[in-house]
Amino acid sequence: MAFDWIAKDMVDVSGKRILITGGNSGIGFETARAFASKGADVILGVRNITRGEAAVHKLKLESPKSLVGLMQVDLSDLSSIRKFAADFCANYSSLDILINNAGIMMPPLSKTRDGFEAQFGGNHLGHFALTGLLFNLLKNTPDSRVVTVSSLSAHNASIDFENLDGSKGYKRYQFYGQSKLANMLFGKELQARIESNGLGVKSIVCHPGVTHTNLASRNSGRDMNLLFQLISRAITQPTEMGALPILYAATEDSLQGGEYIGPDGKKKRKGYPVKDPVIDRLYDAKTASRLWALSEEMTGVNYFFSKGSSK
C-alpha cells in the first residue's frame, strides 16, 4: 500500500446495513463506532443485552444521526442463532456487510449448549450457521460482503478432526488456534463456492494482530483483572488499530474476495492493514471442504448458492 490506511479513508458507507457479532466491546465496538460515525445502519448482535444496551447508548451519543440497533444472539446455541436469523430476516430486507467478529479465547474445557467444544462451537460453528442462515439476504443484496475475523494463532494451527470435542486431550491455546484456523478456512472456502456459483458476494478474512481486548477473560463475562490489563496494554496495540483490518476488509474497493487482511508491522502484530499472503499457504482445499461438510452436519445448516432464492 502507498499509505497508512485508517478509518477516515473508508469509502462512503452511509445507509449501508452492517451486522457485527460481538459489537458491544473490543474491536467489535470500535468497528461499530467507525461505521456509525460514517452514517451506516449498524446492528449489534450480542449475547449480553445489558452490555449491548450500554454500547448502543454510547454509539448514539457519539453519532446521533446514525441508526444503531441491537439484537440478542448466543453463538454457542444453535437455537438462539436460528431465532436471531429468523427475526433478522423478518425485520430487514437486505444485508450489506456481515462481520463475524465475536469469539471466546482459551477457556477451560467446556461445551456449548449443543455439546460442541466451546471454542470450535462458538467461534467457528456459530458463525458458519449464522452466515448460512443469512446468506439469502446477502446474495440478494448488491455488492454485499462477509468478513470473518481470524487470528495470528491460526498461522501455526491445524484441524484435528479426530478430537474436535477435546475428549482425547485439551490444550486451551491449541483449541483456540484450531477454531481461528477454521474461521480462516471457512472464509476462503466460502469465497470459492461463491465464485463457482457466479454470485456477487465477497468473503474476506482478517485478523487484528495483537490487540488489547477483553477476550482473555476466558468467556467469564468479567473484565480482565487490573494487572493483566496493564500488561496487555503494554504489549498490544489499541482497539482502534485492531479494528482497521476489519474496516478495510469490509469496505476497500480493490479487494476481490478471498483475501486475508492483517497489520503490516513486525511479525504482523501491529500496524496498518495490508493483504497477507500467508492464507495461500494455510488454505488447503481438501481440508476446507471436509470442514465445510462437517460443519453442515454438526449445525444442520446448508448454504443455498442459487441466485435469487433460498433453495
Task: Kindly list the catalytic residues.
Answer: 176
The CA-to-CA distance between both ends of the chain, in Å, stands at: 40
Contact between 13 and 67 under an 8 Å Cβ cutoff? The reply is no
Q: How is residue 275 written as a grid cell?
A: 493483504
Nearest partner of 260 among 198, 208, 298, 207, judged by Cα: 207
Residues 6+ apart with CB under 8 A from 114: 76, 77, 78, 121
Contact between 213 and 239 under an 8 Å Cβ cutoff? The reply is yes
- Please count the other Cβ atoms lying within 10 Å of the Cβ belonging to residue 94: 13
Contact between 247 and 7 under an 8 Å Cβ cutoff? The reply is yes
